[in-house]
Structure 1
Amino acid sequence: MLNGKTIAFLVAPEGVEQVELTEPWKAVKQAGGTPRLVSTHRGQVQAFHHLDKADTFAVDDTVDSAEATAFDGLVLPGGVANPDRLRTVPQAVQFVRAFFDAGKPVAAICHAPWTLIEADVVRGRTLTSWPSLRTDLRNAGATWEDQEVIVCTAGPNTLVTSRKPDDLKAFCQAATDAFGE
């Protein structure tokens, strides 16, 4: 149980895979936590179902004003465009890095580890991701494995990773377990 813990969900203004945002969001709420949507811009974020526009979601806070110390954990949803955009925004990369520096749990699915690579936090860790990131993760010093979910405790924090939307049930369970510790 998360018993009131606050979990940041970091997404770009456009490009997040909707189901990779909404399913972990529901899991955090069902476990008694408070999810908060953090982005690089105020207003709304545009989610996608693969390449098709889906719903929009209201941003609670932005990376230029949010601080990792205000949160108990971080979720990085995927979608190809979402992490690709986030990794080009220095404040977003620093926001992610701050969770590792503070030893707070982080959960990343699908293409989201691109942002972790940019934050230079995967070296010496074991992760999974969408298969096309395998070489990027290995080049950044991580061990990549093709598994439904990996919970890595080899670094300063717990890092939960999964490959794709089909892995969401296992991802959500592992993430809420990590946030509840």
Structure 2
Amino acid sequence: MSKLQGKRIAFVATDGFEDSELTSPWEAVTAAGADAVMIAPAAGTITGKNGHEQPVDHVLGQVSADSFDALVLPGGVVNADHLRLDSEAVAFARDMFTEHKPAGVICHGAWLLVEAGVVDGRRITSYPSLQTDLRNAGADWVDEEVVVDQGLVSSRTPEDLPAFNAKLVEEIGEGEHERQHA
């Protein structure tokens, strides 16, 4: 399958990510022909909360949104909490939205989108404990398996990964979404 042939997908995470929320979407986009790229705050390797080690391809601050076709933000409380405090991660996410790129976010990954200021007026889901944060940032939070809003794909937990992955590949395949915005 080559639905995403030639597409470069930026995965942004750091230590403490939810393993399956990185590995499952990674496998889905690469199986569809995309080039998945791991971007993190520091070089080397990042480790998931269950021990998956992922080599880092690029460091935040040394890449730009115009080099990628889509963004994926895995969850994991520690991962998401660290990234939302990283100004380069926040800027990169905002830039991806400014350039109308499709984005996928699952579980706690939405914290970075709150910090980036890109959820106001958007319909989104997440791990339930983020609903107040997302609503306070202007989002219409719903409790659904997968939500698609103008190129933004969101899901709640690892149990939602099959639906999340299918919609993620579909939205990336559609390309830039004019109504995707920062």
TM-score with structure 2 setting the length: 0.93
Distance 1:144 1:27 in 2: 26
Q: 1:9 matched to which residue of 2?
A: 11
**Of 89, 96, 105, the match for 1:108:** 105
Q: What are the equivalent positions in structure 2 for 1:53-132 lying under 5 Å apart? A: 54-132=51-129
SS in 1 for 2:12: strand
Q: 1:31 matched to which residue of 2?
A: 32
Count of equivalent residues: 172
Establish whether residue 180 from structure 1 lines up as the match of residue 180 from structure 2: no
Tell me how far 1:64 sits from its aligned partner.
1.1
CA offset digits 1:77-136 (Å, max 9, x no partner): 001111110011101100000010000001000000000000000000000000000000
Q: 1:161 matched to which residue of 2?
A: 154
Distance 1:67 1:133 in 2: 28
Structure 1 or 2: more strand by fraction: 1
Amino acid at match of 1:141: G
SS in 2 for 1:107: strand
SS in 2 for 1:15: coil
Instruction: Note the residue ranges of structure 1 that are not aligned, 5 or more in a row.
Output: none
Instruction: Note the residue ranges of structure 2 that are not aligned, 5 or more in a row.
Output: 175-182
Q: Identity across aligned pairs (percent)? A: 47
SS in 1 for 2:10: strand
Q: 1:133 matched to which residue of 2?
A: 130
Q: 1:48 matched to which residue of 2?
A: 49
**Of 164, 177, 180, the match for 1:171:** 164
Distance 1:66 1:56 in 2: 21
TM-score with structure 1 setting the length: 0.94
Amino acid at match of 1:9: F
Tell me how far 1:48 sits from its aligned partner.
1.5
Distance 2:108 2:152 in 1: 15
Amino acid at match of 2:160: D
Establish whether residue 146 from structure 1 lines up as the match of residue 147 from structure 2: no
